[in-house]
Every structure is written in structure tokens, then in C-alpha cells.
Amino acid sequence: MAAAKSFADKLSFEQIKIELLNTAYGNDRTLIAKLDPRTLFLWYTFFGIAPWFIYSKMILAGMLVFVIGTTIMTKVSRLIIFILILGLLGESGYLLIASFFFGGNLGIIVPLLTLTMKLSVISLASITAFCSMSPERLGEGLLRIGVPGQVSFSISYGYRMLPTLFEEYNHIFMSYRLRGKSPEKHGLFYFRTVIYFIKLAVKSFYPLLLSMAKRARTTVEALETKGGQYAFKNPAVKKLKLAKLRIGKNDYFFLLISVLYLMSIFISSYYVQF
């Protein structure tokens, strides 16, 4: 319990906020982050979708090794990895236990492993692609492939407001604590205390929504004065925004390496079976 408590202490609102923002903006200096968003989109369309249709464990394992490599290269925050692993283990673990109840045996482990591998490849590919792109670059990339300007604006605005949202939520949550009453006894396995906190966490959203709605009014007025509407219709603005995007040597190199690697595992899987 002491370990859990110290973990909970470390996992403060402030900490989560910092992790999230670092995930979004913090690693823009890695090799992958410098690639053109379009390159990453293309790369992701394969690694994000193909695993669903691949059943060779050899190929999946090869892809997994590759995306583990790229994930390491993106220097993503440990919190994200931790959540991912928790999710994957939870999912497979639950399926395993469920299958035992419905007459399954240990043989179920092998197909479950295939599923877990598929999910891992897709998740890690998503992390590689989206955690290394800053919200701005993601927005620019989407704009380039023809998604309306409103979408890319919403993404960057959403991230701009993220820290504010967190702080506001934290304030409201603390308001509940500063006037509320926590259970006298923790109960079995801290049951009562946990319920108390879950209740507060949910209740805090209602005041948050109202206060955010109030803030948005000024933002909408300000956008009007800054020519926000005007920009979405003006092709010259789009051109200016995208002037920085270039597909360069690195992009071709990255795609080439990926293709060569994929080819090699597809070919070797033809000869090696297990």
C-alpha cells in the first residue's frame, strides 16, 4: 500500500499535465519528428492497418521489433508506455481468464499472443507517428492532405487550452476537497476513499464545462477580430501555412529503410516458419 501511495503522490495533476504537454511538444528534435507529416501519414497507413491482415507470427514479430525501434527513437514519455503496457496486459489477461470460464485451455495462449502482437504493432506505430508530430505539424499535415482548416485549427487550439483545462479542473477538484468531508475510515482496500475520489473526479467536470464555455466567448470574439473566419476561405493563407512543409532526403531515406526492412521480413518468413 505504501508503494501505491507514493506512486499516487507522484502522479499529481501537475505531473500528468507536464507529461501530456511533453508528449505533445517536448520531443520535436528527434529524427522522426523532423520528417514531413505526409511521410509519417504514409508510413502509418501501412503499419496502422496492415497488421490486421497479417497472420504470420514471424512477420508480426519482425514488425514489432521495428516499431519498438522507432518508438525508442521518438523518446516518448515513460508514462505513455506504461499506460500502453497496462492496457495490453489488461486486455489479453482479461481475455485469457474469460476463455478459461468458457472451457478454454492453455492452447488459447498462442492465438492471444498473435492478437497482442497485432495490437502492440499498431499502438507503437501510432505512438511513433503521432507523439513525434507536434500538434502544429499534425495540423499542417492534415491541411496539406486536404482536411479543412477548421480541423487543424481545432487541434492546435485544443492543445493550447489543455494546460488551462487541467489547472481549472484541479482548482475545482480542490474546491471540493477544501469544503467536503472524506470518509472517516478508509474501508477494506481503501474502498471508501477510492469511491470518494472517483465521485469527486466525476463531479468536477460539471463546473469545468460551465467555466470553459464562459471562456470560449472571449476566444470566439478574439478570433473574429484576428480574421479567423477569413483565413479558412483564403487559399493564400493555406499556402503561407504550408510553405515550411518539404519532403526531403530524410523522408525518402526513412521510407526506403522501412520498405527494405518489410521486404526482408516478408521474404524470410517465406523460408522460416514456426
Cα dist from 185 to 1, 9, 179, 182, 202, whole Å? 15, 20, 18, 9, 22
Answer yes or no whether residue 14 interacts with another protein by CB under 8 A. yes
Is the CB of 120 or the CB of 204 nearer to another protein? Answer: 204
- For another protein, which residue of 5, 6, 8, 15 counts as binding (CB under 8 A)? 15
- C-beta of residue 135 within 8 angstroms of C-beta of residue 160: no
Is the CB of 87 or the CB of 158 nearer to another protein? Answer: 158
Scanning the structure block, which residue is given the C-alpha cell 518508438? 71
Binders of another protein among 174-193, rule CB under 8 A? 174-182
Q: CB-based contacts of 21: which residues, under 8 Å, 6+ apart?
A: 159, 162, 163
Lookup: cell for 33: 519528428
Lookup: cell for 21: 504537454
Answer yes or no whether residue 148 interacts with another protein by CB under 8 A. no
Answer yes or no whether residue 223 interacts with another protein by CB under 8 A. yes
The C-alpha angle with vertex 236 and arms to 230 and 239, in degrees rounded to 5, equals 120
Is the CB of 97 or the CB of 242 nearer to another protein? Answer: 242
Answer yes or no whether residue 228 interacts with another protein by CB under 8 A. yes
- Binding residues for another protein, per CB under 8 A? 14-15, 18, 21-22, 25, 135-136, 156-157, 159-160, 163-164, 168, 171-172, 174-182, 203-204, 207, 210-211, 214-219, 221-231, 234, 236-237, 240-241
